[in-house]
Amino acid sequence: MLPAVVVAAAAYLGLTVLTDLSVFVRVGVLVGVGIALPIVLNRLFGGAKSTTTDEEAVEGDESEPADADEAA
């Protein structure tokens, strides 16, 4: 199980037991800690960069001249 999911579940249960917050606030914390936080941390600390692969594919397409058929 992902660590973020475990932390999010613990935060949700802790808020449920210790506070009288509405279910919407608790679910917001669950989504924030379980989904949004790992995405933000991954972008901040440089996880896998999928844009590099996309840029290389575009650069590979540009290596052939567009007028190659017209020149022949």
Among 15, 9, 54, which Cα is nearest to 30's? 9
Q: Which residue has the tokens 């579940």?
A: 9
pLDDT cut 70: percent of the chain above it:
62
Q: How many domains does the chain have?
A: 1
Per-residue pLDDT at 48 exceeds 60 = yes
Asked if residue 14 belongs to a domain, the reply is yes
pLDDT of residue 5: 81
pLDDT of residue 64: 59
Asked if residue 31 belongs to a domain, the reply is yes
pLDDT of residue 46: 79
Asked if residue 10 belongs to a domain, the reply is yes
- Amino acid identity for residue 69 in this structure: D
Mean pLDDT of 51-63: 57
Asked if residue 25 belongs to a domain, the reply is yes
d(CA 4, CA 30): 10
Asked if residue 69 belongs to a domain, the reply is no
Asked if residue 71 belongs to a domain, the reply is no
Asked if residue 41 belongs to a domain, the reply is yes
Q: Which residue segment(s) compose the domain that 14 sits in? A: 3-61
d(CA 36, CA 14): 19
Asked if residue 72 belongs to a domain, the reply is no
Mean pLDDT of 41-67: 64
